[in-house]
Amino acid sequence: MGDPSEPARSAPQPIQPQLGAALNTDLYELTMAAGYFEAGKAENRATFELFVRRLPWNRNFVVAAGLAQAVDYLLNLKFTEAEIAYLKTLPQFEHNHSEFFDMLAGMRFTGDLFAAREGTPLFAGEPFLTVRAPLIEAQLIETYLLATIGFQSTIATKAARVVRAALGRDVVEFGTRRAHSPEAGVLAARAAYIGGCTGTSNAETGFRYGVPVFGTAGHSWVMSFPGELAAFERLQQLLGESTVYLIDTYDTLEGARRAASLGRPLWGVRLDSGNLGELAMAVRRILDEAGLRDSKIMVTGDLNEYKIQELMAARAPIDVFGVGTELATSADAPSLGVVYKLVELEDAGGRRYPVKLSHDKQTLPGAKQIFRAADHDVLARASECIACGEAGACEALQRPVMIAGQLVESLPTIAETRRYAAECLGRLPATCLSLFAAEHAWRVDISPELAALNESVSKGTAV
């Protein structure tokens, strides 16, 4: 992209605790915590894993995202006095739990966090993150972690699909207005950048995370002037080389002619309605005939990866796609079935591997590691050291992020994360990157040691 796509000189902000984050959890996490406390289980060390059982609709991978916000949350976890006073009013806590609440008031996250880097493509059953902490701490954080990782991974995945469909053209995220709350808009824009978008229209995302921001003018700009030409002239004076005229307020081709008549400086024009492919061709001709061959065409308006694929297949002369609603809500697959499951528990009696047998919801026991080779993964026990295949080269994807409540090292910058995601995606086979579900797109083996643990745990389960 030209001028409007210059990355904002970013000023990433210091980590900030989110208002009310500790209490932003399901009440049952708190009633269970009280129960664990009173059953003397507070100090039992639990290991939970966050993963998806199945990939979403039309997806052959999921791009992990949201870890930075999960870490912010864990570093700042603290219940306020007002929050604890509120909890004491609830009928679920009507029996005396004063020792539990005293504990809760002093509680911080003191556990370990292992995770795949943000930007890593993951597959069904592979842990996005693993928490090893005192049972109460590990339990209380379930809801927030699921919402944080699940949402941003959903959007990073959608963005990766949209960007792939655009075949090298820039994709800018424009969806805050249709996101699930303004804050979701900020985070969707962050995740979309990780997934490969060039930037976003959301200024807060630029400010907070250093993501490049774009945008010039909308329909109300044009309509606030008595005529379209006057609106365009003013915009050109205002923005110079960054000028992008929105040309569909009255008549797109007429708008294109007015834009062309003003000549340079001009970055390009934006189309927001009608048959975008046909209009782009006609507008391209108008601009070319006016000698504006280097000016660009951006299109917006209910786009998604499927429509972009169609436009590219038709060789529409489009330089930049602005994608809003469908990207910021992942409209064709608006949620990710993330779960957070207890896989190990150490108490006075030693280490146990709890296992759930309910219909269609089995979970492999024990803490795990993901080993990635060139053409497949191996899901293994965390304690294993695996050499995948003959070449033996494979990477362990789960890395320590926090130990005993402290960050092990700085997290990567968002630009590094975006680059890492692009590299990882670039190594996946085309079947995997298809916009449509493909069977056996990526092989995930279970290591013999993990399989053996699963078998012994399944047999030995006495309930």
Give residues 1-40 in contact with a copy of itself (rule: CB under 8 A): 3-4, 6, 8-9, 11, 13, 16, 18-21, 23-32, 34-36, 38-39
Q: How far is CA 266 from the centre of its chain?
A: 34
Six token digits for residue 329: 């809500």
Tell me whether residue 82 or residue 430 sits nearer to a copy of itself (CB atom): 82
Member of 54, 167, 224, 387 binding a copy of itself (CB under 8 A): 224
Options 112-120, 395-403, 440-448, 455-463: segment touching a copy of itself (CB under 8 A): 455-463
> According to CB under 8 A, which residues from 318 to 347 bind a copy of itself?
325, 329-331, 334-338, 340-342, 345
Member of 83, 384, 445, 449 binding a copy of itself (CB under 8 A): 83
Strand partners, 339: 51
Q: How far is CA 105 from the centre of its chain?
A: 31
Minimum CB–partner distance for residue 308 and a copy of itself (Å): 18
Member of 45, 53, 78, 219 binding a copy of itself (CB under 8 A): 219
Note whether 268 and 297 are within 8 A (CB): yes
DSSP string of 321-352?
EEE-HHHHTTTTS----EEEEEEEEEETTEEE
Q: At a CB cut-off of 8 Å and minimum separation 6, what does 367 contact?
A: 47, 49, 130, 132, 343, 344, 381, 382, 383
Minimum CB–partner distance for residue 4 and a copy of itself (Å): 7
Q: At a CB cut-off of 8 Å and minimum separation 6, what does 394 contact?
A: 371, 372, 373, 378, 386, 387, 388
Residues in contact with a copy of itself, counted by CB under 8 A, come to a total of 128
Does 278 participate in binding a copy of itself (rule CB under 8 A)? Answer: no
Minimum CB–partner distance for residue 242 and a copy of itself (Å): 6
Minimum CB–partner distance for residue 373 and a copy of itself (Å): 32
Does 379 participate in binding a copy of itself (rule CB under 8 A)? Answer: no
> According to CB under 8 A, which residues from 174 to 193 bind a copy of itself?
174, 176-188
Does 252 participate in binding a copy of itself (rule CB under 8 A)? Answer: yes
Six token digits for residue 8: 């904002």
Note whether 51 and 127 are within 8 A (CB): yes
Note whether 304 and 155 are within 8 A (CB): no
